[in-house]
Chains A and B, each alone.
Chain A
Amino acid sequence: MTTIIQYGAGNIFSVAQALKLIGEEAILADTPEQLETAERLILPGVGAFGAAMKSLRRAGLDEAIIKVVKKGTPLMGICLGYQLLFESSDESPGIQGLGLFKGCVRRFNAALRIPQLGWNHVRYRESSSLFTGIRQDSYFYFANSYYTAPTEDIGIGHTEYGRNFISAAQRGKLFGVQFHPEKSQGCGKQLLTNFIQLEEQ
């Protein structure tokens, strides 16, 4: 069973339905207590970094997320949910992120179409179990104006958009993807399945 963190900033319905499509039961959680008992977690998110962090804090979910990740509960952040795992973002200067991944979030070069909207390649690290069964350089759906710039070696997926950026990251059982697996058709389905089956590998 997968728990989706609900904090008023995310495409929660689509994530829940995508899990249903792969036969996974999904529940929504909006209290720290619910997070503590979760088998695994997904942190979705769309919108602005600052507003999302405020919502997490207001519900006490920021501390709860940090606690369960340290305890070893698998968690995957999606899109803004992935960016929130970092220390800070250009989008909301002065607002602290969850800081579970070292590094910050930066805005794409102004010469590009921003936001990036559409399908782009992900080149993944061959050893990564999150991409098992997915063809190298497959397409995933992106909708982002910002990209993550980690300062530690956590990149398991790379994407080119004006520059090469880390589109998927992992440290232990903590994962993050910049793209939307719930909107990435077959490849997204496989990636979500892989996340759910991590424990069995």
Chain B
Amino acid sequence: MNTKRIIPCLDVKDGRVVKGINFLELCDAGDPVKQAQYYDAQGADEIIYLDITASHEKRDTMIDVVRRTASAIMTPITVGGGVRTVNDAKALLENGADKVAINTAAIDRPELISELAEKFGSQAVCVAVDARQEKMYWRVFTVGGRKASRWTVNDWVIEAEHRGAGEILLTSMDRDGTRKGYDIALTQMVSRAVNIPVIASGGCGSMAHMAHALLEGKADAVLAASIFHYRETTIQETKQYLEKRNINVRIES
């Protein structure tokens, strides 16, 4: 069987890392490629870049970042943020990205999922879902968590799979940034609702949180940012921890 994936996420703005590793050994700590190389050397199973560049004109900087990353490391790269059209996705995939993550654009026009899947294959189409808990269910939010959509999370992930999504990147808005752990109930619900892989995200503050999301949450992968950026642990150490708990992870000897 394939292994559970451990995925560090880097927030990139105008081609520079804004939330990333906090230390000085790197000669240019703001360079996303340097940080990706650092995680690659630790055995990251994938790298996710989240492009938070505000202006559309500067989007080309992300293409350059992806190009330079794919020239430096042989590790899968996913890019999310700002992908609105088939052409946006094409530019990233032709320059070394393996997957694009779409969020707001997919809610605005669900056909985009099918168009991307048809052109690039489902394996290249990751639907990012920002979820917030309401009374009886979770609701999908867009525009970086600012706008409520008409979709419940359960209905939306089923719709996304039906339209050809190859993966769900599931972020709990309630947990994001709290370091209190992933939302296990949410993760479990989505993992059961679909047959495509699910990446749990939002709230990771410890290695134990990752184990919970993978075991109880039934996630196929976990995304984490600050725990790696602040070097509270390394990917290697995380994997050794998970392996001791009988979680199938990739450890190269």
Contact = CB atoms under 8 A, between A and B. Distances in A.
Interface of A: 11-14, 17-18, 20-21, 46-48, 51, 80, 110, 112-120, 135, 138-139, 141-145, 160-161, 180, 182-189
Contacts, number: 103
B197 A188 contact: no
Contact of A119 (B45, B70, B73): B45
B2 A11 contact: no
Given A13-B96, A20-B71, A113 B220 contact: yes
B41 to A, nearest CB: 10
Interface of B: 1-5, 40, 45, 67, 70-71, 73-76, 93-96, 98, 118-124, 166-167, 195-197, 220-221, 250, 252-253
The prevalent SS among residues of B at the interface is: loop
Contacts of B3: 118-120, 139
The prevalent SS among residues of A at the interface is: mixed
Contacts of B71: 17, 20-21
Contact of A115 (B75, B122, B253): B122
Given A119-B2, A120-B3, A183 B45 contact: no
Given A46-B121, A161-B2, A182-B74, 17 more contacts: A13-B95, A21-B71, A21-B74, A51-B118, A113-B220, A115-B196, A118-B197, A119-B250, A120-B3, A135-B253, A142-B2, A144-B123, A145-B122, A183-B75, A187-B252, A188-B74, A189-B74
A139 B250 contact: yes
Given A13-B94, A112-B195, A141 B121 contact: no
A135 B250 CA distance: 14
A112 B121 CA distance: 18
